[in-house]
Chain A
Amino acid sequence: MRGLLGFLGVRLVRALIALWLVTTVVFVVMRLSGDPVPLLLPPDAPRSEIARVRTELGLDQPLPVQYGVFLANVLRGDFGRSIHFREPAFRVVLGYLPATIELGLTAFVLAVVVALPIGLLSAIRRNSLLDHATMGLALVGQSAPTFFVGILLILGVSLKAGLLPTSGRGDWRNLVLPATTLGAFAMASIARLTRSAVLEVLRADYVRTARAKGLAERLVVLKHTLKNAAVPIVTITGLQFGALLGGAVVTETVFAWPGIGRLAIQSIYNRDYPVVQCAVFLSALMFIVINFCIDLVYGLLDPRTRPR
């Protein structure tokens, strides 16, 4: 029990350090990128007015002071007011979160449901037609630019075949094309990694032993192979999940999907520091939570990684 608590404690400290680093980097980079004030005021605004807005936004303070204020506010859960939308940044980001989670989760489920069986089958039937076809497709899926896949899907599936809406958020039909587009990369990388992880295990001595003792192939695969191949698969799957939830700028833009990625990019253009900081913070938080969950799953899968 004490081992587990220690394990959790170390993880928590690491997570906090990671969060702190991310917020600090974003804070510095945003300030290096330029000044929000010219975007807020009419082009012919007098200097006094510019100075007034700078004071109001706290931009006249030295950077370390600004940083201190920022950190203190974040600790209180306050990300400041959006410069562009003129409402609390947290509320703005929260408004975009449902669309992001809906799309990210669907893309993830789609990717896993398709990729795992394909990876497994192509490993078992190595060098078969199925193996070559699916792995070829996976290579394309991993290397084709997202916007290109998205637009081809819109033109083919939506416009030519008339099956699904071209863009926008609505019911499940609106979700199919963007989730496929977004999930394509994750799908391809999970399938490829599953295949190689399984192949590796299939070469292991204990698999040969299992076969030698006459165990049914089904059991060899499910009981001995899959369980042992699970650690890398879980890792890549988890990482992909984090990436999918972090927002998908290109997919969101092509499909006019109101997600966090588009908000973040737009806010960078608008120099809306508070919104960018809040969006990146939340994305990092999700990523860290998922990583933490992966660590826990390792323990379940492989007793050797359990803390003692």
Chain B
Amino acid sequence: MAMTRRDLLKSAAALGTAAVVPATLTKSAAAQTTQKKELVVAQGGDVAFFDPHMSTSSNDIRVSFNIFDNLIARHPDGKLQPALATEWKLDGQTTWRFKLRSGVKWHNGDPFTSADAKYSIERTYDPKNRLRVNTVLTSIDRVEAPDPATLVIHTKKPDPLLPARLAFYGGQIVPKKYLESVGPDTFNQKPVGTGPLRLVSWTKDDKAIFEANGDYWGGKPDFDRMILRAVPEMAPRVAGLLKGEVDIVTQLPPDQGERVKANASTRVAGALYAGLYVLAVNSGRPPLDNPLVKQALSLAIDRDLIVKELWRGRGIVPSGPIAKGDNHFDASLPALAYDPKEARERLKKSGYKNEEIVIETTSGYTANDKPMSEAIVAMWRDVGINAKVEVLEYSVRAQKNTQKTFKGLWWSDPTSTLADPDGMMWRLLSPGGPQDYWRHPKFDELGAAAHFSVDEKFRGQAYREMTKIALEHLPWIPVIQPYEDYGLQKYVEWTPNPNQQFEVRRFAFKFKRA
């Protein structure tokens, strides 16, 4: 393997850099403000589903959170704010009462009522609908709509995170009357929401065109139209930004940040990802059932080097399985250590007999997955581990994920959907969860108790203990918490959201006017 496609793209991009700067300098003074009425956004892949309950992929939720509203919104600062619900309160342990916003209209003119909210929530977990978000709201026992402006939700057990669940995917509110009359397929192609964007047209793999909702209860966004383009290759995506064709590009790789910064009319905005990139471990397969082996694997990874070289400093080294920024993140824990000598010791103690240990990685499904795998395998070999990288196609990965047939380790980039360990560590590692490869009675007991507790002090204590167990047994080997970077024109004032929501509402997005 002499040169990969990526390498060539990079060198091609580097060739362009020197030439780009002077051409764009001249218009820089004017480029700090704009009179534009149209926002152009380029992302790496096309929208696959407009039905918000059919997808959790970032390319889709960038759109669905803007076509639709949730009862409660999570703003870029991480706080929960009123949206379609103006007030909510916990009544006893398991009853939540929501007061709904009045006067809100669907894009087709129908009024929004509590019947829509009830229908929407029940739709997500009805197995008949087979929706991607089917597990998000399963703590709910039943939903009542006593009058058009009131919604009552009863949970099966106390659920402290219900508002947070309602604020993320699965919580988007869909129109009962419209959806029932046109059916799910038409709804997916011609979505009707209450949000600030209304879909006008969609050409697959090309662009989706949206119109700003002039009647939006939160105020019309600061543009008349938004065009969302799907530009799969990074080089043309960045070229489009530098040339001024595009106002915002998503998924800006770390090595392109300097180019965007060096250009006079563009800048980089990043948010620390609300989640972690971890190597998930099939702890059922020897020698990975031995905690000492996993500890050796973790100790042998020079994470600082990975952050510095592969991420150009755009990331931090995690301290455990809870992401920085989440509830109950323990700031006093040290970053995960790099100690090759200790790694060798523990390997020796573990009785490791040179069994092959495999990282199964996709190439580019998560940022830097393959380069990181190669770097880590080299680090492991240095301490005497017989390690190997195998590259999978994305759909094979999905299949292995469903059938739980990973050979050793694989990349997972869990989003902390609730800004809480319950929405990340427990969502994935709990018994019966998507990454149920390892069980520990104490961990399970604490996780289940914290899941159903409204006592934050108790939950904090539980997560501290679970972190300790997880760091000893390592069902995940956390590697990095990266920044998610976007490239923007300087005339765009916009705050990225750590959880991959792409917020175009008034409070987060504005064009700088002269």
Interfacial residues, chain A to chain B (CB-CB below 8 A): 34-35, 37-45, 49-50, 53, 84-87, 92, 95-96, 99, 145, 147-148, 151-152, 154-156, 158-160, 162, 165-169, 253-258, 262-263, 266, 269-271
Contact = CB atoms under 8 A, between A and B. Distances in A.
A257 B15 CA distance: 24
Contacts of A44: 135, 432-434
Contact of A168 (B5, B12, B204, B229): B229
B204 A256 contact: no
Contacts of B23: 159-160, 162
A77 B28 CA distance: 56
Contacts of A87: 185, 189
Give 7 closest A-B pairs by Cβ, nearest first.
A38-B402, A155-B16, A258-B206, A258-B205, A43-B434, A256-B231, A167-B236
A251 B215 CA distance: 41
B389 interface: no
A253 B403 CA distance: 31
B326 to A, nearest CB: 21
Given A41-B402, A42-B135, A86-B188, A168 B395 contact: no
Interface of B: 5, 8-9, 12-13, 15-16, 19-20, 23, 48, 127, 130-135, 185, 188-189, 203-207, 229-233, 235-237, 239-240, 242-243, 245, 393-396, 398-399, 401-403, 432-434
Contacts of B394: 269
Contacts of A258: 203-206
Contacts of A154: 235-236, 239
Which of A40, A154, A158, A159: most chain B CB closer than 10 A?
A159
27 contacts: A34-B395, A39-B395, A39-B398, A44-B434, A49-B127, A86-B188, A92-B204, A95-B203, A95-B204, A147-B9, A155-B16, A156-B16, A159-B20, A160-B23, A162-B23, A165-B245, A166-B245, A167-B236, A253-B233, A254-B236, A256-B229, A256-B232, A257-B206, A258-B205, A262-B205, A262-B232, A266-B205
B233 A256 contact: yes
Given A34-B396, A253-B232, A155 B12 contact: yes
A38 B399 contact: yes
A161 to B, nearest CB: 8
A168 B207 contact: yes
Given A35-B399, A86-B185, A151-B233, 16 more contacts: A43-B398, A43-B434, A84-B48, A86-B188, A147-B5, A147-B9, A147-B233, A155-B12, A155-B15, A155-B239, A158-B243, A166-B240, A166-B245, A167-B239, A169-B206, A256-B230
B511 to A, nearest CB: 21
B204 A96 contact: yes
Which of A49, A53, A84, A151: most chain B CB closer than 10 A?
A151
Contacts of A95: 203-204
B16 A38 contact: no
A96 B205 CA distance: 9
Nearest to B185: A86
Nearest to A36: B395
A265 to B, nearest CB: 10
A148 B396 CA distance: 28
B231 A168 contact: yes
B239 A159 contact: yes
A84 B134 CA distance: 18
Interface of chain B, main secondary structure:
helix
Contacts of A169: 203, 206
A42 B8 CA distance: 36
B252 to A, nearest CB: 15
Contacts of B207: 168
Contact of A256 (B48, B188, B236): B236
Contacts of B12: 148, 151-152, 155
B395 A167 contact: no
Contacts of B5: 147
A110 B269 CA distance: 42
A95 B205 CA distance: 11
Contacts of A147: 5, 8-9, 233
A222 B30 CA distance: 58
Contacts of A152: 12, 15
A77 to B, nearest CB: 21
B17 to A, nearest CB: 9
B53 to A, nearest CB: 11
Contact of B130 (A38, A49, A85, A160): A49
Contacts of B135: 42, 44
A156 B240 CA distance: 13
B360 to A, nearest CB: 15
Contacts of A263: 204-205
Contacts of A99: 206
Contacts of B189: 87
A167 B249 CA distance: 13
Nearest to A161: B23
A167 B243 CA distance: 11
A264 to B, nearest CB: 11
A246 B132 CA distance: 34
A158 B8 CA distance: 19
A145 B4 CA distance: 12
Contacts of B131: 42
Contacts of A159: 16, 19-20, 23, 239, 242-243
Contacts of A35: 399
Contacts of A270: 395
B426 to A, nearest CB: 13
B398 A38 contact: yes
Nearest to A53: B130
B130 A269 contact: no
A89 to B, nearest CB: 13
A37 B232 CA distance: 25
Nearest to B232: A253
B479 to A, nearest CB: 21
Contacts of A145: 8
Given A38-B403, A147-B9, A167 B205 contact: no
Contact of A42 (B132, B239, B243): B132
Contacts of A86: 185, 188
B405 to A, nearest CB: 11
Contacts of B239: 154-155, 158-159, 166-167
A165 B227 CA distance: 16
